[in-house]
């Protein structure tokens, strides 16, 4: 059976790894709870069961990704960045490939950035919290989609940067300037959340696939070094969600305002 | 029991919906653009099922454990009223969750190879390991300090944008002086530090603190801890690259 690949050992190893990740956190929390705050943990049974869910859930999630989606995603990144594929899709000879000929790479980058972000568990967590705190005015789905659009745009632009070989810091600095300008015009209540959404997008699902894409590009394009140019996609993926989340807030703010002014008009 | 099963199945359907975009994108590109058969289809389906089950369990655990822990710690510290202990806790939480982060270990190893190639360190195994370990400690310290500053900001009610914009300016200045080969890694290190377990805990802690302190608004002041944790590693890694 092919499923031999998904052996018990893989699952056990991942379970151990996840437990090792959770352990320092649990030690710090319970240590402070008992020695500093000096009070018993409220509802300890429920918390422990919940932690078990977290450990098992994350382990299943990782094993599934590593055994199924990551190898395929990495293979696809390799296939799409292969010069033979590019030249065939663009009807150009291999030595004559221009940056435009990588269009399938840009589209794939945007699509995979979007899709992996929608499934990112850390983002789901933040969206649930934001929905709770904003008393429902920020929808879980709306926030996740705007972050995902940001990541998609970021990864596509980051791929373009690797193809053209332009310096990373120019893009990031321009992005910062954009974020700063938006900070002054966006509704105040969204700013902290927007800044946070940059950091949460890139954890379990997005990083490995995006890294594979970056390294695939940097390896196949002449004159790029995978070690130097392969980096930087994650930086794009953390920058652009800030822009799109603030944009989303500005858009809904503007729409609400327009609706309320048109409602005030008689018969409007 | 029947009710529980129904809730669980609903949650599974929800998780499946979260994964549909990935399945669609991979299917579309594999079948229509690359036009090569999908290898090991059976394994792929089984793996996807594991991912769906895992996501469902994780979200259940999130609501049962990670959110309540973060919140109850926030309330307990607010009641105790000791700023020093709270800040120490914030630092440990940031440092402790980052030092063992697998994504960071991978990035640190790559950075060491890069530094050796560029001739910044000797290319022996020992000096590379040393470099990678130093980098991990640096990033973990930076995340600890980030959570500490972030918590202090919530307590004092400082507006987040000035701190973040100030951080950007420092990063831009450092970029001008940092060795070229470290810049990409530094920029990426901001993204890899915040793991799937840390994010919900830290978010619940921030929101809990902002809701239990008088005069703080959870929406304005509660978020932002993650933002600091993705900003400071960029600075610290560039400084590390300049010093080592």
pLDDT-above-70 percentage for chain B:
100
* pLDDT tops 90 at residue A152: yes
Compute the distance between CA of residue B202 and CA of residue A28 in angstroms, rounded to an integer. Answer: 13
Q: Which of A89-103, B113-127, B140-154 has the highest mean pLDDT?
A: B140-154
What are the sequence ranges of the domains in chain A? 1-68, 81-264
What's the gap in Å between the CA of B168 and the closest CA on chain A?
7
pLDDT at position A2, please?
A: 44
- Cβ of B156 under 8 Å from any chain A Cβ? no
When the pLDDT of each residue in chain B is averaged and rounded to a whole number, the result is: 88
pLDDT higher for A29 or A90? A29
> How much is the average pLDDT of A132-143?
90
The answer to whether A228 and B114 are in contact (CB under 8 A) is yes
pLDDT at position A85, please?
A: 80
> How much is the average pLDDT of A124-135?
93
What's the gap in Å between the CA of A214 and the closest CA on chain B?
12
Chain A residues within 8 A of B52 when measuring between CB atoms: 64
Chain A residues within 8 A of B7 when measuring between CB atoms: none
- Cβ of B56 under 8 Å from any chain A Cβ? yes
Tell me the pLDDT band of A264, cut-offs 50, 70 and 90.
Answer: low
Q: Which of A68, A85, A227 sits opposite B47 (nearest CB)?
A: A68
* pLDDT tens-digit readout, B169-184: 999 999 999 988 788 8
Lowest mean pLDDT among A2-11, B29-38, B133-142: A2-11
CB pair distance less than 8 Å for B47 and A37: no
Chain A residues within 8 A of B46 when measuring between CB atoms: 3, 6, 64, 67-68
> How much is the average pLDDT of A207-222?
80
CB pair distance less than 8 Å for A25 and B197: yes
pLDDT at position B123, please?
A: 80
CB pair distance less than 8 Å for A76 and B30: yes
Q: Which of A233, A115, A58, A226 is nearest to B191 (CA)?
A: A233
Q: Which of A199, A211, A212, A110 is nearest to A157 (CA)?
A: A110
What's the gap in Å between the CA of B244 and the closest CA on chain A?
18
Return the structure tokens found at B71: 């919140």
pLDDT at position A6, please?
A: 52
CB pair distance less than 8 Å for A176 and B66: no
pLDDT at position A44, please?
A: 87
Chain B residues within 8 A of A33 when measuring between CB atoms: 73, 76
* pLDDT tens-digit readout, A156-201: 999 999 888 888 889 999 999 999 999 999 999 999 999 999 888 7
pLDDT at position B156, please?
A: 92
CB pair distance less than 8 Å for B59 and A199: no
Best A23, A55, A114, A196 residue to mutate vs chain B (most B CBs within 10 Å): A196
* pLDDT tens-digit readout, A3-61: 444 556 778 888 888 888 788 888 888 888 888 888 777 788 999 999 999 999 999 99
Best A68, A106, A198 residue to mutate vs chain B (most B CBs within 10 Å): A68
* pLDDT tens-digit readout, B100-138: 777 788 778 878 887 888 777 888 888 888 999 999 999
Lowest mean pLDDT among A17-31, A129-143, B9-23: A17-31
* pLDDT tops 50 at residue B74: yes
């Amino acid at each position: 059976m092919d499923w031999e690949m998904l052996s018990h050992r893989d699952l056990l190893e991942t379970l151990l790894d996840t437990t090792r990740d959770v352990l320092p956190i649990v030690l710090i929390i319970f240590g402070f709870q008992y020695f500093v705050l000096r009070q018993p943990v409220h509802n300890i049974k429920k918390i422990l069961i919940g932690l078990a869910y977290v450990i098992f859930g994350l382990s299943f999630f990782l094993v599934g990704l590593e055994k199924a989606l990551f190898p395929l995603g990495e293979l696809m990144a390799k296939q799409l960045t292969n010069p033979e594929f590019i030249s065939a899709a663009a009807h150009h000879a291999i030595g004559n490939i221009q940056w435009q000929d990588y269009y399938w790479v840009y589209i794939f980058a945007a699509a995979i950035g979007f899709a992996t972000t929608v499934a990112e568990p850390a983002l789901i967590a933040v969206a649930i919290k934001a929905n709770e705190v904003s008393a429902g005015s920020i929808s879980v789905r709306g926030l996740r989609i705007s972050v995902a659009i940001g990541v998609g745009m970021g990864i596509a632009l980051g791929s373009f940067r690797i193809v053209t070989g332009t310096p990373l810091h120019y893009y990031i600095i321009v992005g910062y300037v954009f974020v700063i300008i938006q900070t002054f015009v966006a509704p105040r209540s969204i700013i902290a959340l927007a800044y946070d959404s940059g950091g949460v997008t890139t954890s379990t699902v997005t990083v490995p696939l995006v890294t594979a894409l970056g390294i695939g590009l940097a390896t196949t394009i002449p004159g790029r070094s995978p070690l130097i140019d392969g980096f930087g996609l994650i930086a794009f993926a953390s920058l652009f969600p800030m822009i799109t989340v603030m944009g989303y807030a500005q858009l809904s703010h503007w729409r609400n305002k327009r609706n309320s002014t048109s409602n005030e008009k008689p018969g409007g | 029991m029947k009710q529980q099963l129904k809730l669980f199945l609903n949650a599974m359907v929800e998780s499946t919906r979260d994964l549909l975009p990935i399945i669609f994108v991979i299917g579309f590109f594999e079948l229509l653009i690359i036009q090569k058969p999908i290898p090991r289809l059976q394994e792929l389906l089984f793996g996807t099922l594991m991912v769906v089950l895992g996501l469902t369990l994780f979200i259940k655990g999130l609501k049962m454990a990670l959110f309540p822990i973060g919140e109850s710690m926030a309330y307990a510290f607010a009641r105790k009223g000791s700023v020093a202990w709270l800040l120490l806790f914030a630092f440990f939480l940031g440092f402790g969750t980052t030092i063992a982060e697998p994504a960071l270990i991978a990035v640190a190893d790559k950075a060491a190879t890069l530094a050796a190639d560029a001739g910044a360190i000797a290319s022996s195994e020992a000096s590379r390991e040393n470099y990678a370990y130093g980098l991990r400690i640096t990033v973990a310290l930076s995340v600890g300090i980030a959570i500490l500053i972030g918590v202090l900001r919530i307590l004092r009610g400082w507006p987040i944008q000035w701190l973040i914009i100030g951080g950007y300016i420092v990063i831009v200045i450092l970029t001008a002086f940092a060795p070229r080969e470290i810049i990409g890694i530094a920029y990426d290190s901001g993204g890899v530090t915040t793991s799937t377990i840390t994010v919900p805990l830290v978010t619940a802690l921030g929101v809990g603190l902002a809701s239990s302190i008088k005069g703080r608004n959870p929406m304005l002041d509660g978020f932002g801890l993650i933002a600091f944790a993705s900003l400071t590693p960029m600075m610290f890694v560039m400084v590390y690259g300049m010093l080592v």
